[in-house]
Chains A and B, each alone.
Chain A
Amino acid sequence: MELIKIRDLHVNIDNKEILKGFDLNINRGEVHAIMGPNGTGKSTLASALVGKPDYEVTKGEVIFKGKDLLEMEIEERALEGLFLAFQYPVEIPGVSMINFMKTVVDARREYRKEEPISPVDFLKLVKRSSELVGISDKMKGRAVNEGFSGGEKKKNEIFQMAMLQPDLAILDELDSGLDIDSLKQVAEAINKLRNENNAFLIITHYQRLLDYIVPDFVHIMNDGKIVKSGDKDLAKELESKGYDDIMGLN
């Protein structure tokens, strides 16, 4: 079943066109990987989908769960089930992780016209999610991302994802900053969260992550659009041959 349909998406930042006609369909139950050289617009795609201000969509459409995504406010997109694990998570001094999560979980429940979560259920959910991802109690008590190491910030993104169980999760360079063991643990967490109802869009530069989370499709992006698509073997081919060869530039 189709989860998201991106058609001919053009996005400008500061009047400069970064996405130049991006197309992609993702069905529930699928894992897609996007690879591509630095500066080709991978993060721009992720930011534009979640609605970052100043990202001007000049053309194209995005249908998410049958609704026009681009018409929605930032928070509406999230409440509908879109989640971005940021490449660079933001530090929020003074807002405790736990308080933040409680507020976010309740905001979702309110959106679905459900009662606020009970303290017991909330703590269970926190326990399950943090064990899955491997974050310590200490981190949960601290302010959101404040003073977290690079790897801790990444784990914290996946912890939030585990808490919120989105329909579509976009993971932007999750592997940067994570050590080998953490990468493995986080990947296993994602595999456990994977099911026939949700989908993942993984942005990465390396095959390593895709060894753990095996994608159904791999897309190569260059200069604001997808230039080649294939299955998991495309990523392996890329690793051995490099972009120029794969994209047929040699």
Chain B
Amino acid sequence: MIDYYKELFEKNKENLESGLQLEQIRQQGLKDFVRMGFPGNKMEKWKNFSTKSIQKNRYELNSIEERTKLDFFSKLSGLESPNTIIFNNGHCSYDFQIEESKNGVIFGSIKAVLAKYPEKVLKYFNKANKQNLNGFNAMNSAFAQDGFFLYVPENIKIDFPVLVTQNYNIDSYQLINNRNIIVLEDDASCEIVQIESSEVGNKAFANNITESFLGQNAQLTINKLQKYLGNTIVIESSFTKQKSGSNYSCNIATIGGNKLRNDIHVKLEGTNCFANINGGFVLDENNEVDNNVYIDHATPDCDSNQNFKGILDGKSKGAFTGYVLVRQDSQRTNAYQSNNNIVLSEKANISTNPFLEIYADDVKCSHGASIGRLDQNAMFYLRARGLSEEKSKELLLSAFAMEVFKDVTNTKFKEVVSKEIENKLLKD
């Protein structure tokens, strides 16, 4: 199968290249991909995510660019932003390519920015994801086609949340590799809302990477809604590097997903950083979601927090693995991790795995995990006030999942997420 991708690469070389100056990165990516291949279940980090269904298909490189789908906007109810970029099947809608503002902000399709300012992009490309960590990351380096690029200069605060939407809807086996790069210089700040979805008939496989670079005291918030229908397979890897005093907050709401993996890597490289990673997932039927958070406390005096909550029904499978590495000199580290789940059906399954590797001695670390059922006393209390069993269940579960987003200040985003959770729960 790896040979197939070598051929695919050769066949599309011209097409992929088109003056994008990524040749070295692509060659290295292909080499690493050929060397590592697809991760297998025997590898500790992949034991909750089988790659068999990916390996058995011959994915083509998708090159159909589309115009904005306006009906998609209607679903966003209130999240519309003057800073919006729309992707369909991995390609930036050609209505909008690049926007530069007077204060130096650059925002647009990474392809367009690369063509105009190659040095700005190459300075960061694969710099957070240095080693092509696994086969899928290497595959992305080899085949990356588009994605978004956001550059925020020193001291600039973007007032409106930036909106990035992605919708997958192809009825043949297509490979999508998006590469997103977010750069916040010192004291810059911004919020990005990402709405990712797919339609029931979609067969495309998306293997995306987001690299983020936070300068000193920079503040980045990512609020992401993932709602994949049908047989969509998605691997989303993010690599974030934080300089001193920076603050990274990442909140992911996952509504279903046939097969989804989130890999969130954060490296705290300066003192007094904070990384706050939260996720809520609601799964049913044959949904499969595997969340992995890797936090590297590489310097002293940093805090990190991971809070994930899952609701699992049907035959769904969920996993949360939280890695915390506290290096030897990283004194006065605070690292918290928690994963609580409610399992509603006998056939649903959740796997929760904390991995703490601590080499410093002055460290506060905690981790907690639970797998429970609905609180029957609370159910009785709500029903005794006149709410149906279904409504009571929905209220309790939704409150349970939404707790992870308690620090999210974007109320519109929370409303949309809350509505999506409600719909998913009431559908059952």
Contacts and interface: CB of A to CB of B under 8 A. Distances in A.
B180 to A, nearest CB: 32
Interface stretch (A1-9, A102-110, A119-127, A192-200): A102-110
A107 B396 contact: no
A74 B400 contact: no
Given A52-B380, A74-B380, A104 B396 contact: no
B388 A107 contact: yes
Interface string A70-108: 000111011100001010011111110000100110011
Contacts of A107: 386-388, 391
B389 A75 contact: yes
Contact of B384 (A51, A91, A95, A143): A51
Contact of A53 (B380, B382, B392): B380
A61 B88 CA distance: 63
B383 interface: yes
Contact residues on A (Cβ < 8 Å of other chain), bracket: 20 to 34
A98 B384 CA distance: 17
B385 A78 contact: yes
Nearest to B394: A103
A95 B399 contact: yes
Given A53-B376, A90-B377, A164 B385 contact: yes
A35 interface: no
Interface string B371-411: 00000111011111111110110011011101100000000
A160 interface: yes
A74 B383 CA distance: 6
B381 A78 contact: no
A207 to B, nearest CB: 28
A53 B378 CA distance: 12
B384 A74 contact: yes
B395 A95 contact: yes
A201 B381 CA distance: 19
Given A92-B396, A94-B399, A86 B381 contact: yes
Q: Find the residue from B380, B384, B398, B400 having the highest chain A CB count within 10 A.
A: B384
Contacts of B388: 75, 107
Contacts of A86: 381, 384
B395 A103 contact: yes
Given A52-B380, A53-B376, A86-B381, A94 B386 contact: no
A160 B384 contact: no
A221 interface: no
A89 B381 contact: yes
Q: Find the residue from B380, B396, B398 having the highest chain A CB count within 10 A.
A: B380
B364 to A, nearest CB: 24
A95 B403 CA distance: 10
B48 to A, nearest CB: 27
Nearest to A111: B386
Q: Find the residue from B383, B385, B392 having the highest chain A CB count within 10 A.
A: B385
Contacts of A90: 377-378, 380-381
A103 B391 contact: yes
A148 B388 CA distance: 25
A186 interface: no
Contacts of A26: none
B387 A95 contact: no
Nearest to B377: A90
Nearest to A86: B381
Interface string B94-124: 0000000000000000000000000000000
B395 A100 contact: yes
B399 A93 contact: yes
Contacts of A89: 381
Contacts of A91: 378
A139 interface: no
A108 B399 contact: no
B386 A75 contact: yes
Interface string A116-154: 000000000000000000000000000100000000000
A77 B392 CA distance: 15
A164 B391 CA distance: 18
Contacts of B399: 92-95, 143
B386 A104 contact: yes
A95 B381 contact: no
A75 to B, nearest CB: 5
A141 B231 CA distance: 41
A50 interface: yes
Nearest to B399: A94
Contact of B386 (A52, A78, A92, A143): A78
A50 B384 contact: yes
A84 B381 CA distance: 9
B403 A160 contact: no
Contacts of B398: 94
A108 B391 CA distance: 13
Q: Find the residue from A51, A91, A103 having the highest chain B CB count within 10 A.
A: A103
Contacts of A143: 399
Contacts of B382: 92, 100
Contacts of A52: 380
A160 B376 CA distance: 20
Q: Find the residue from A78, A79, A94 having the highest chain B CB count within 10 A.
A: A94
Contacts of B377: 90
B385 A94 contact: no
Contact of A94 (B376, B389, B392, B402): B402
A79 B386 contact: yes
Contacts of B389: 73, 75
A84 B395 contact: no
A51 B383 CA distance: 10
Contacts of A108: 386
7 contacts: A74-B383, A77-B384, A79-B386, A103-B391, A104-B385, A107-B386, A108-B386
Q: Considering the complex of A and B, which 5 residue pairs feature the smallest CB-CB distances, nearest first?
A: A94-B399, A78-B386, A74-B383, A90-B381, A79-B386
Interface of A: 50-53, 73-75, 77-79, 84, 86, 89-95, 100, 103-104, 107-108, 111, 143, 160, 164
Given A75-B384, A86-B381, A92-B382, 16 more contacts: A50-B384, A74-B384, A75-B387, A75-B388, A75-B389, A78-B383, A78-B384, A89-B381, A90-B377, A91-B378, A94-B399, A100-B395, A104-B387, A107-B387, A160-B385, A164-B385
